[in-house]
């Protein structure tokens, strides 16, 4: 068998290298307002355009507390990890994104949002952001655990474990339950010390220095959200129709209000 000359082998290798897909590269952590973290690299979030804070009705207390905490973080001051808990569709995720955008507007380039969907890779993300001269909020949306072991893993990450977490990186977590873990009274029946079971379930929530509760809306609060949307998008306001929409869905929330607005705009031949 005739051996190919070295030069020919080098040309073939170079051609194969050009044909091979390029390894993905993380986005510049200083260049974008928001990112996605999928366990290996940062990806810029496309179209990061949260609602203005003024659009979020009935959340003045939560808004003030969250924005103040994020301003401290962006300014390089001590800031808390935050748990936003409560009824579904009440604006938890919307408030996180709107608050980050509001702080970014007053402190350009000093704060970024990173949406995280896997807890196991958080240590790698901490390491990546360690030396970056910018504050980051890691956003974990709709968190819940079926097993206590998963909760203990997050508790260790919040506490730093054996490796300190960067001071300019804080977690913002939304959940439908205040205590994150489902509470089953039957567990207490078989526990050597029933109080230990309850304490273990509360321990994760206690790791968050700032806990903000969100509660189901009354009718006036729901209609205030609907009116804010109709004013913003120049749509007619019909309170009775909006209430009927919510009644048929068995829920009054910011999410239901937005779904009504989408339906209304669609019926009127309008885009949003």
For residue range 168-206, list pLDDT tens digits in order.
999 999 987 655 555 444 444 445 444 444 455 556 677
| Model-wide pTM > 0.85 | no
The residue with greater pLDDT, 137 or 150, is: 137
pLDDT at 240: 95
Q: At what angle do helices 194-206 and 148-159 cross, to 10 degrees?
A: 50
Measured distance CA(254)–CA(186) in Å, rounded: 35
Phi, psi (deg, nearest 5) at residue 162: -80, -15
pLDDT at 150: 59
Q: Given a cut of 60, is residue 23 above it in pLDDT?
A: no
Measured distance CA(34)–CA(64) in Å, rounded: 21
Q: What is the longest distance spanned by two Cα atoms in the chain?
A: 86
DSSP count for the chain of H helices, then E strands: 10, 7
Measured distance CA(165)–CA(187) in Å, rounded: 33
Average pLDDT of the chain to the nearest whole number: 83
For residue range 80-134, list pLDDT tens digits in order.
999 999 888 888 999 999 999 999 999 999 999 999 987 888 889 999 999 899 9
SS3 for 171?
strand
Secondary structure percentages of the chain, helix, strand, coil, to 5:
45, 15, 40
Look at 64-78, 157-171, 223-237 and tell me which has the smallest mean pLDDT: 157-171
pLDDT at 63: 95
For residue range 124-148, list pLDDT tens digits in order.
999 999 989 999 999 999 876 555 5
Question: Contact at 8 Å (CB) between 84 and 174?
Answer: yes
Q: Given a cut of 80, is residue 269 above it in pLDDT?
A: yes
Q: Given a cut of 90, is residue 18 above it in pLDDT?
A: no
Measured distance CA(93)–CA(88) in Å, rounded: 10
SS3 for 170?
strand
């Amino acid at each position: 068998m005739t051996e190919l000359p070295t030069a020919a082998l080098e040309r073939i290798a170079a051609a194969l290298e050009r044909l091979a897909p390029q390894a993905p590269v993380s986005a510049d952590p200083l260049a974008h307002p928001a990112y996605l973290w999928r366990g290996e690299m940062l990806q810029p979030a496309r179209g990061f355009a949260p609602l203005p804070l003024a659009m979020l009705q009935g959340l003045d207390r939560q808004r003030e507390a969250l924005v103040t905490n994020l301003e401290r973080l962006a300014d390089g001051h001590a800031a808390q990890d935050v748990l936003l808990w409560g009824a579904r569709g009440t604006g938890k995720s919307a408030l996180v994104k709107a608050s980050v955008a509001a702080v970014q507007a007053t402190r350009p380039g000093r704060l970024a949002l990173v949406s995280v969907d896997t807890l196991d890779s958080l240590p790698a993300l901490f390491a990546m952001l360690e030396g970056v001269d910018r504050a980051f909020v890691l956003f974990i949306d709709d968190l819940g655990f079926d097993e206590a072991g998963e909760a203990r893993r997050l508790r260790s990450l919040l506490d730093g474990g054996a490796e300190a977490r960067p001071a300019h990186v804080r977690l913002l977590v939304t959940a439908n339950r205040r205590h994150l873990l489902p509470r089953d009274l039957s567990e207490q029946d078989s526990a050597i010390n029933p109080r230990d079971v309850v304490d273990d379930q509360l321990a994760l929530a206690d790791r968050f220095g700032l806990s903000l509760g969100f509660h189901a809306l009354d009718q006036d609060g729901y209609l205030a959200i609907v009116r804010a949307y109709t004013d913003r998008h120049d749509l007619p306001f019909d309170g009775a129709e909006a209430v009927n929409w919510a009644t048929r869905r068995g829920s009054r929330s910011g999410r239901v209000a937005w779904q009504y607005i989408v339906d209304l705009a669609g019926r009127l031949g309008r885009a949003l």
